[in-house]
């Protein structure tokens, strides 16, 4: 499991880094062209790419099944694993420790905010804190708006209504759920600094989108809104982590005030912005799948001559399940003890073929090596459904490569001779 999880995490991290960099560069032009709400919505491209990176990049491998003598004990000889299990386990342990540490930090920051808020007293549609905490919207299932104890003295009536409208917009848009998803993303990819920078900018775009939504409903209150932002700027600094949406965000107050002066986009520009985000998400999704599928499409085709040699009893008749694989020879059995059974199969690079016996199966895949005259033969050896070994052979084209399975009493060997297929 560790040998499969580590490449998956790295693939997802690399795949999502590209759209994060793109959005970091494009977020301000998107705000100018289509508005702050569309710039915030564009961050959905990142999880879309992450999902694409999880999907299989090519069709399921084809399988060739051979009926051979049963082996008592399996081992891979003349082979080396793709990655040492100890190294893979160590990498997985380091990643898990980072996930745990990051998650602990988020939980501590969120609980620290709630503790600092102290006792909450409901007053109308908001909750008043005993401390200088808020304004903020907190909670996932039962969200509430929290204001500081001096809310009535610090802000005027119009400013209060605008602040509450801002936090109510966070609740209506389920921004706390978006913050939770972003925090989980940071925990999974704690080793990628681009993820942390991207989440920080996403949270800033979230605040700008709420500012724009409030201004769309109260276009004549820009001055009062700006004054409320300035008053909050002189108050207690917001806690940077947590799932809550804090009015005193980490976003530069000057940029938030400057954004209030921008004209809101019309209906045509908003529709065009939504179409642009949909096309961007679809293009990123397709590009991610395309990049992963491209090596398979351009891969070489090999002819693999398989020879199964039994040292204890004659090989049984070979049964081939062809699917889409092409076979150049019919199975040949000598019927004599210690002789070989041979068959050839044609497969593309990365395509799997299997040799199976009663309860045993070895899956092999041919891939190009660092030089044109050599190939890698990588596979997995199964006892039932359990992987017992990961044999890997570096073989020259036209030269036999052998994997031995079993012990002295019951042993068979699989010899593979790979040549290029025109």
Which of 166, 200, 168, 170 has its CA nearest to residue 183? 200
DSSP classification of residue 326 = B
pLDDT the model gives residue 60: 42
d(CA 265, CA 315): 76
Q: Which of 30-39, 128-137, 156-165 has the lowest mean pLDDT?
A: 128-137
Q: How far apart are CA 264 and CA 218, in angstroms?
A: 12
Q: Are 345 and 63 in contact (CB under 8 A)?
A: no
Residues 267-292 have a mean pLDDT of 86
Instruction: Note the pLDDT of residue 139.
Output: 87
Q: What's the average model confidence in pLDDT over 334-359?
A: 67
Q: Confidence class of residue 205 from pLDDT cuts 50, 70 and 90?
A: very high
Residue 65, φ and ψ in degrees, nearest 5: -110, 130
Model confidence at 410, pLDDT cuts 50, 70, 90, reads low
Q: If we measure between CA atoms, which residue out of 59, 73, 70 comes closest to residue 388?
A: 73
Crossing angle of helices 45-54/175-188, nearest 10°? 50
Whether pLDDT at 271 is above 60: yes
Q: Whose CA is closest to 302, among 328, 323, 330, 322?
A: 328
Instruction: Tell me what percent of the residues of the chain surpass a pLDDT of 90.
Output: 31
Contacts 24+ apart (CB under 8 A), 193-197: 194/17, 194/20, 194/21, 195/13, 195/16, 195/20, 197/20, 197/24
Q: 173: which 2 tokens?
A: 């848009």
**Domain residue limits, the chain:** 2-59+84-288, 301-420
Beta strands in 219-300 (DSSP E): 245-246
Closest to 310 in 3D by CA, of 204, 408, 422: 408
pLDDT in tens, 285-333: 888 887 765 444 446 788 888 777 765 444 443 333 333 344 444 444 4
Task: Provide the pLDDT for residue 341.
Answer: 63
Residue 56 has pLDDT above 50, yes or no: yes
pLDDT at 93 over 80: yes
Q: Tell me, what's the pLDDT at 20?
A: 95
Confidence of residue 159 (pLDDT cuts 50, 70, 90): very high
Check residue 403 and give its pLDDT. 77
- Kindly provide the residue ranges of all beta strands, DSSP E only, lying in 60-143, ordered along the sequence: 67-68, 120-123, 126-129, 136-138
In the predicted model, what is the mean pLDDT of the chain?
78
The residue behind tokens 């908003």 is 270
At residue 176, the pLDDT reads 92
Give yes or no for a contact between 303 and 326, defined as CB atoms under 8 angstroms apart.
no
Query: Please, which residues bridge with residue 412 across strands?
Result: 310, 405
* pLDDT number for residue 81: 41
For the ranges 36-45, 125-134, 221-230, the lowest mean pLDDT is seen at 125-134
């Amino acid at each position: 499991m560790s040998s499969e999880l580590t490449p998956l995490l790295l693939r997802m991290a690399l795949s999502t880094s590209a759209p994060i960099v793109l959005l970091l560069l494009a977020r301000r032009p998107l705000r100018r062209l289509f508005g702050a709400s569309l710039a915030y919505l564009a961050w959905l491209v990142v999880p879309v790419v992450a999902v694409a990176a999880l999907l299989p990049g090519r069709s399921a491998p084809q399988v060739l099944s051979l009926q051979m003598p049963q082996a008592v004990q399996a081992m891979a000889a003349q082979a080396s694993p793709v990655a040492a299990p100890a190294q893979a386990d160590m990498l997985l342990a380091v990643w898990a420790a980072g996930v745990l540490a990051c998650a602990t930090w988020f939980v501590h920051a969120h609980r620290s905010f709630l503790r600092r808020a102290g006792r909450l007293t409901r007053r109308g549609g908001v909750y008043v804190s005993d401390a200088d905490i808020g304004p903020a919207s907190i909670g996932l299932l039962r969200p509430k708006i929290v204001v500081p104890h001096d809310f009535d003295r610090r802000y005027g009536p119009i400013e209060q209504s605008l602040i509450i409208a801002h936090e109510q917009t966070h609740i209506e848009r389920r921004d706390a759920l978006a913050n939770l998803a972003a925090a989980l993303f940071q925990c999974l990819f704690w080793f990628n600094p681009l993820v942390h920078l991207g989440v920080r900018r996403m949270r800033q775009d979230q605040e700008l989108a709420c500012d724009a939504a409030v201004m769309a409903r109260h276009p004549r209150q820009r001055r009062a809104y700006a004054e409320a932002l300035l008053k909050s700027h002189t108050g207690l600094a917001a806690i940077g982590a947590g799932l809550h949406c804090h009015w005193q965000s980490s976003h530069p107050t000057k940029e938030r005030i400057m954004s209030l002066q921008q004209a809101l986009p019309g209906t045509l520009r908003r529709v065009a912005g939504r179409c642009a985000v949909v096309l961007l998400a679809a293009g990123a999704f397709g590009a991610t799948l395309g990049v992963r599928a491209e090596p398979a499409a351009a891969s070489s085709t090999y002819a693999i001559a398989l020879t199964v040699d039994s040292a204890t009893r004659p090989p049984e008749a070979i049964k081939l399940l062809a699917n889409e694989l092409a076979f150049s020879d019919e199975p040949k059995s000598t019927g004599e003890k210690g002789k070989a059974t041979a068959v050839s199969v044609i497969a593309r690079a990365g395509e799997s073929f299997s040799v199976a016996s009663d309860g045993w199966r070895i899956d092999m895949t041919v891939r190009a090596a660092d030089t044109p005259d050599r190939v890698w033969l990588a596979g997995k050896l199964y006892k039932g459904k359990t992987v017992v070994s990961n044999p890997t052979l570096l073989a020259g084209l036209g030269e036999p490569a052998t994997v031995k399975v079993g012990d002295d009493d019951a042993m068979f060997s699989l010899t593979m001779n790979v040549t290029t297929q025109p």
